Amino acid sequence: MLRSARVLPLCLKRLSQCRQLTSTPLTIPAKTQGVLPTSQSAIVSKMQFFNSVTPDGSQIPTYRVIDGSGKPIEGAEVPEITEELARRLYEYMQLLPTLDNLLYNVQRQGKISFYMTSYGEEATVIGSAAALAPDDEVLGQYRESGVLLWRGFGLSNIMSQCFGNEDDTSSKGRQMPVHYSSKEHHFHPISSPLTTQVPQAAGVGYALKRDPARRDKNIAVVFFGDGAASEGDFHAGLLLASTIPSPTLFIARNNGFAISTPSTEQYYGDGIAARGPGYGVDTIRVDGNDVLAVMNAVTEGKRRCLEGGRAVLIEAMSYRVSHHSTSDDSFAYRPRSEVEDRKRIDNPISRFKLYMESRGWWSEEEDEALKTRLKKEVMDAFKKAEVRKRPELGEMFKDVWGGEEPWMIKEQREELGALLKKYGETWEPWRNELAKFKDNGKKLLE
């Protein structure tokens, strides 16, 4: 009773103080008025719906340096390139269709199983390659062989990978054509599933940021198409690289089609560039048929990646004048006349050629000589790769696991060896196929 008598007055006093506090108007400091916990945006009294990342509701502009006739547009900042660099850019842009023409026809002859070309996207690929450092980490999709060629991968390695022969440094004959890779050239292995490289690139960028020797020097660069940007992995990768964050440059090749689906049926918003601001990353849309504009955009994009330590998004607008692959007939879903018009009206190679001619750096005679030389080089590489045998059959079981070889790999190799001993000499289809391998598969039988 004595304790309760002492506590009760104290409780009544506290209750009186609480009533005084609740009856006193709450004064919010002027600095914090209207500020929400997760936003610094202004508070307004009227509803404002919006559907654009530009203040006036217009589409995102497309950055360009030279027009279709090769002339710099008014106010454009033309990069200061030497005649030597211009010639190299043009040579590699011409090399891509020369290579594509031959390998496309080789696939039609049944000599390789599959192929994808870079027709119409030469400026995007070569312009990007020229703006990057040789040791920037590149994660390609399917049409970036030009990056490898620019870095010195060589035509022989391209051909050997497509044929899957014993000289295939990318995958030892175990991957389908156009799935290149080269640790030496900082080009990560290409995967067939769509968009897997995008979140991987964010992780590569983060690893570079954690490396004291590379964090202020190198970035991760990932190429992908407009169809890949419709996949969930695109959003996962961009979210990771913008929030962790990591110096990752996202280059979207918007060539108008995801196989047979036109971009108009892939999204309702303003292209892929409109998504960048939603993740808080610097974004630009560039004319992908203008090699100088691509060079400028990628150069600045890399600078921002290193300076800010986070992602940058570039949307390169182009047009896929080829079929999606050798498994596709694009004339089933678009008119042939449209494709022919785009080849003629806004060809990225012709545009840069006109620019070079206007500077006195190129002539028709030099053009014909270059085309003749490139055809010979491509044909020589093809003839060499065509006659090379496939790797030793047992290679398919190597480099699959790191460390100690697991039991299932041993079991599979032994099972194949037993089948070869039983049928390899007696069954003609197997006998003919084994003749294509180095050592005719005999090493596996040992």
Cα(198)–Cα(12) distance, rounded to whole angstroms?
64
Picking from 387, 403, 424, the residue at the C-terminal end of a domain is 387
Position 25 in a domain:
no
- Per-residue model confidence (pLDDT) at position 1: 47
Domain assignment present for 150: yes
Residue 410 and residue 261 in one domain: no
In a domain, 63, yes or no: no
Q: 193 and 266: one domain?
A: yes
User: What pLDDT is recorded for position 2?
Assistant: 47
Does 276 share its domain with 403? Answer: no
CA distance 130 to 273: 22
Say yes or no: 434 and 371 in one domain. no
How far is the C-alpha of 168 from the C-alpha of 310, rounded, in Å?
A: 35
* Range of the structural domain that residue 155 is part of: 83-387
263 and 337 fall within a common domain: yes
In a shared domain, residues 247 and 316:
yes
Q: Answer whether the bond into residue 429 is a cis peptide, omega within 30°.
A: no
Residue 219 covered by a domain: yes
CA 333 and chain centroid, separation: 25
d(CA 201, CA 143): 17
Residue among 35, 174, 158 at smallest CA distance from 96: 158
Residues 111 and 132 in one domain: yes
d(CA 164, CA 158): 10
Asked whether the beta carbons of 156 and 381 are under 8 A apart, the reply is yes
In this predicted structure, what is the pLDDT of residue 15? Answer: 53
CB distance 123 to 348 below 8 Å: yes
Q: Which two tokens stand for residue 167?
A: 């000289």
Question: Cα(145)–Cα(142) distance, rounded to whole angstroms?
Answer: 8
Same domain, 336 and 429: no
> Cis peptide before 25, with omega less than 30 degrees from 0?
no
Instruction: State which of 338, 354, 387 marks the end of a domain.
Output: 387
Considering the domain architecture, whether residues 297 and 406 belong to the same structural domain is answered as no
Tens of pLDDT along the chain (446 residues)? 445 555 555 555 665 665 554 555 555 455 555 556 667 788 889 998 888 899 888 999 999 999 999 999 999 999 999 999 999 999 999 999 999 999 999 999 999 999 999 999 999 999 999 999 999 999 999 999 999 999 999 999 999 999 999 999 999 999 999 999 999 999 999 999 999 999 999 999 999 999 999 999 999 999 999 999 999 999 999 999 999 999 999 999 999 999 999 998 999 999 999 999 999 999 999 999 999 999 999 999 999 999 999 999 999 999 999 999 999 999 999 999 999 998 888 899 999 999 999 999 999 999 999 999 999 999 999 999 999 999 999 888 888 888 888 999 999 999 999 999 899 889 999 999 999 999 888 888 77
Looking at 387, 406, 432, the residue that finishes a domain is 387
pTM above 0.85, yes or no: yes
Closest by Cα among 280, 315, 313, 274 to 53: 274
Q: Does 372 lie in the same domain as 423?
A: no
Position 21 in a domain: no
Residues 156 and 292 in one domain: yes
Contact 125, 144 (CB under 8 A): yes
Q: How many domains does the chain have?
A: 2
Domain harbouring 352, CATH code: 3.40.50.970
Question: Does the residue 262 lie in any domain?
Answer: yes
User: Does 169 fall in a domain?
Assistant: yes
In a domain, 45, yes or no: no
Q: Indicate whether 378 and 425 sit together in one domain.
A: no
